[in-house]
Structure 1
Amino acid sequence: MKKNKCIVFTGGGTGGHIYPGLGIADEFRLLCPDIKTIWIGASSGMDKKLVEKSGSIDLFKGIPSGKLRRYFSLKNFVDLFKIIGGYICAIYLLLKYKPLVVFSKGGFVSVPPCLAAKLLNIPVYTHECDYSPGLATRINSRAAKKILVSFEKTKDFFDSKKQQKVIVTGNPVRPIFYTANATRGLEFLQVKPTKPILLVLGGSLGARQLNELVFENLDWLCEHFIIVHQTGKSQFDQAVAQKNVNPKRLASYMPYAFFYAEMPDVMASADIVLSRAGSNFLWECAVTGKPLVLIPLCGAGTRGDQVENAEYFTSKKAAFSLVGKEVSSDNLKNILLEMLNVNKRKTFEYNVKKLVTNTKPALEIAKLLEKEVRGL
């Protein structure tokens, strides 16, 4: 066994690149309590707060992070220097801590540590949660000893040489979602449901399109549902102002800026989830067996991964989706009216639960990392 016993996790930018990694870290710590866990994330943004608040990681280290864009932007020039700076910092951190392995959960910040690990001959494992690999994963795969994916079809996006390194693990979900409890969720929300609970989530940063759709139809939504709405910090004050216009009529509207440890239980208490279509979030819903109404991020500035994720869940009759020009108040109301039918919801619950395998991907990945660090 090597003298310096630690493992580095890397990833960030959004909760979708952090929470799955934390789930793996939780499982890994149970398997290898003697090995220190370190997370390399962005020095700015939410990474540090989410990682440290989780209690899943022993030490967080931030590095400069620049975005990798597929289109022309003047920001590419500035971010190039951030990426170079991140690479230099990553080399320093890896030399200092000498990890046994680097595990990447994706996001732009993961690229410098993976490339630095390759330079220093440290094994790299990288995981892609989306149906098609993003640019960060494509770059990281060049440094990777193993490429872990959520979908069998994702293999086809890699060349024949890299396919030999691919392992289909499924998407890691934090262990706490497997024990999520609806009663605890209702206690946190302080609500006794007299109507179905509609949980609206736009991801860790919120989603303006979803938020505006809720604001535009608030009266109608409150008539039919109890709305639990994670707005993101940027529009939380606006949501509160909307409610304060008529607190009595909008008593069924419950805005929150962000859910932390309460998220699994809150999700378990919901009857329907209206959300974007980030892969990590979709699999959390699958584990908790929630019917889905998806409005995936699409158009300029996105590679279409959420549309692909939504299409997959829709094809399995586990979700409804509204894409691009289909997004309208009328279309949303029609779908939600259909979901008021209890039997319809039960059918969707059954179909979404079928997507979850008997194994826990986070644990299976943690076992792969255990084999690597133990030299098995």
Structure 2
Amino acid sequence: MSYRILLLGGGSGGHVFPLVAVANALKEKTQQTGIPLELMVLGEGKFMEEAAVEAGLNFKPILAGKLRRYFSPLTILDIFKMPVGFFQALWHVFRFMPDIVFAKGGYASLPGALAAKLYFIPLLAHESDSIPGLANRILGKLAKTVFVSFNSSQKYFKAGKTVLTGNPVRKELLTGDRMAAMAKFGLNPGLKTILVIGGSQGAQKINRIILDSLVMVVKDFQVLHQCGESQYQSIKTEIEKLIKEGEGEYADSLKNNYKLYPFFSEKEMAMVYAASDIIISRAGAGSIFEIAILGKPAIIIPITNSSSDHQLENALEFSKFGAAMIEEENLTPHIIINQIQSILEPDKYNSIGEKLKTFATPDAADKIASALLAPQV
């Protein structure tokens, strides 16, 4: 008889990719031990569905209402989504009837977590950030064990319930070949590469500062820019305008040294990481733990309106290990360029990368997988 594990998640990449990493670790461990394993993902959103399908996982979609601490017209719609999603989760959990449930966190995990509790199925959860959001505080009360990425987040959960694991990272991200990536993206191996990633949904303020800095940056560096699907067309139009205005001056540098993409797939992400020398990113836990395991010097720009300022706290923790942090109100083209030049100083660059690796937790997914496969008492 198969051992059944239900995985809960959805929403942004910060909740999706670690779930895939845990699923992959579970597959590896059960293949080694010969334990028959059945996995099912229950969650919300096209992004979760695409990631699950790409990873070869059985996915069941449900509705999930986001828990907001501010007014939004979407809250009215989400009030109706919550009960519908809960009854959908009750049905799917009943049909699958897992031996154990793992919730990656976020609002998309709540319907399945509540269903698991009603069926008396053991529930384990994971908190990525240094400060948990409302959904994860609720999950923390429902779960038997809460795995955490930051030591500082343990105080938000009941004493004795937390286990410090770090954040699960996909091992596939370490498999990129630098020269193959240079060829694929049309990059010059003789130039330093700045990778800009705004998260799975893009980051408007990061996109803006990169555009404002671009003419100066491409004189000396090349840029790989993941801008988010919603902003891709408007940025592309702006770049075309810049190129037209720069004919005879900087147009050729822009054409050759700037590559714009709406989003990178998992395979592409491994390649862009391999090609990059410096990474500019938001301070989501998923991003900073990926940067750490790669040992790539980074400039971290926390979003100002994140829940409980968790991105600022994440960035402050990460900056202790050598990452540069710039708050949004201090963003200017000159500050960005000065930071890039400072990081690339030969005596500094390698030492930053090595220090960042000490923040990494490459065995986080394995630790969580082992706990999910262990007998529950």
**Structure 1: 5+ residue stretches without partners:** none
Secondary structure of 2:252's match?
A: coil
Cα drift, residue 189 of structure 1: 1.7
Say whether residues 1:363 and 2:371 are aligned partners: no
The within-5 A match list for 1:128-167 is 128-158=127-157, 162-167=158-163
Query: 1:239: how far off?
Result: 3.2
Give the secondary structure class of the aligned counterpart of 1:249: helix
Q: 1:205 aligns with which of 201, 206, 217?
A: 201
Would you say the 8 A contact 2:110–2:139 is kept in 1?
yes
**Which residue of the partner structure matches residue 354 of structure 1?**
358
Amino acid at match of 1:35: L
| 1:351 CA displacement | 1.1
> 1:184 and 1:123, CA in 2 relative to 1: closer, same or farther beyond 3 A?
farther
The equivalent residue for 2:96 is 97
Q: What is the aligned counterpart of 1:292 among 289, 298, 302?
A: 298
Counterpart in the other structure of 2:285: 279
Structure 1 residue aligned with 2:248: none
Partner of 1:303, secondary structure, is helix
Task: Summarize the alignment of residues 301-312 of structure 1 with structure 2, pairs less than 5 Å apart.
Answer: 302-312=307-317
Partner of 2:260: 255
Unaligned runs of 5+ in 2: 244-250
Q: Does 1:313 align with 2:318?
A: yes
Q: Name the SS for the 2:201 alignment partner.
A: coil
CA deviation after TM superposition for structure 1 residue 176, in Å: 1.2
Q: Distance in 2 between matches of 1:275 and 1:45?
A: 23
Q: Distance in 1 between matches of 2:125 and 2:48?
A: 18
- Give runs of aligned pairs for residues 164-179 of structure 1, distance below 5 A: 164-179=160-175
**Structure 1 residues 75 and 234: CA distance shift in structure 2, 3 A:** closer
Q: Specify the SS of the correspondent of 1:95.
A: helix
Moved more, 278-287 or 342-351: 342-351
Alignment of 1:6-45 (within 5 A): 6-33=4-31, 34-42=36-44, 44-45=45-46
Structure 2 partner of 1:190: 186
Partner of 2:211: 215
| Distance in structure 2 (CA, Å) of the matches to 1:324 and 1:192 | 30
- Offset at residue 258 of structure 1 (A): 0.9
**Residue aligned with 1:65, SS:** coil
- Pick the aligned partner of 1:324 from 321, 324, 328: 328
> How far has the Cα of 1:172 moved from its partner?
0.7
Q: CA deviation at 1:53?
A: 2.0
After TM superposition, which residue ranges in structure 1, 4 or more long, deviate above 4 angstroms?
A: none
Question: How far apart, in 2, do the equivalents of 1:367 and 1:157 lie?
Answer: 24
Residues of 1 paired with 2:234 and 2:74: CA distance? 30
CA drift of 1:328 comes to 2.0
Q: CA deviation at 1:309?
A: 0.7
For 1:8, give the aligned amino acid.
L
TM-superposed CA distance for 1:74, in Å, is 4.3
TM-score (norm 1): 0.92
Pairing 1:116-131 to 2, within 5 Å after superposition: 116-131=115-130
Q: Which amino acid aligns with 1:198?
A: I
- In 1, Cα distance between equivalents of 2:186 and 2:335: 31
The aligned amino acid for 1:90 is: A
Q: Give secondary structure in 2 for the equivalent of 1:248.
A: helix
Shift of residue 343, structure 1, vs aligned partner? 2.4
Q: What amino acid is aligned across from residue 367 of structure 2 in structure 1?
A: E
Q: 1:123-175 deviations in whole A, cap 9, x for unaligned?
A: 111001111112111111121111100122211122xxx22111111111112
| Conserved? CA contact 2:187–2:257, under 8 Å | no
Q: Is the 8 A contact 2:6 2:102 kept in 1?
A: yes
1:51 aligns with 2:56: no
Q: Secondary structure at 1:40's aligned position in 2?
A: strand
Task: Determine the C-alpha separation between the residues in 1 that align with 2:235 and 2:351.
Answer: 32
1:304 is paired with a residue of what secondary structure? helix
Q: Deviation digits for residues 166-222 of structure 1, max 9, x if unmatched?
A: 111111111213434323332332323222100000001111111111111211111
The aligned residue for residue 65 of structure 2 is 66
Deviation at 1:4, TM superposition (A): 5.9
- Residue 342 (structure 1) aligns with: 346
Give, as a single letter, the amino acid of the residue that structure 1 aligns with 2:15.
H
Report the counterpart of residue 78 of structure 1 in structure 2: 77
Equivalent-residue separation in structure 1 for 2:104 and 2:19 (angstroms) = 6
Verify the 8 A CA contact 1:225 1:252 in the aligned structure 2.
Answer: yes
Match of 2:246 in 1: none
- Deviates further, 326-335 or 119-128: 326-335
- What is the aligned partner in structure 1 of residue 226 from structure 2? 230
Match of 1:217, SS state, is helix
- Taking only the aligned residue pairs, the percentage that are identical comes to 33
Distance in 2 of aligned mates of 1:178 and 1:219: 31
Q: Distance in 2 between matches of 1:191 and 1:185?
A: 8
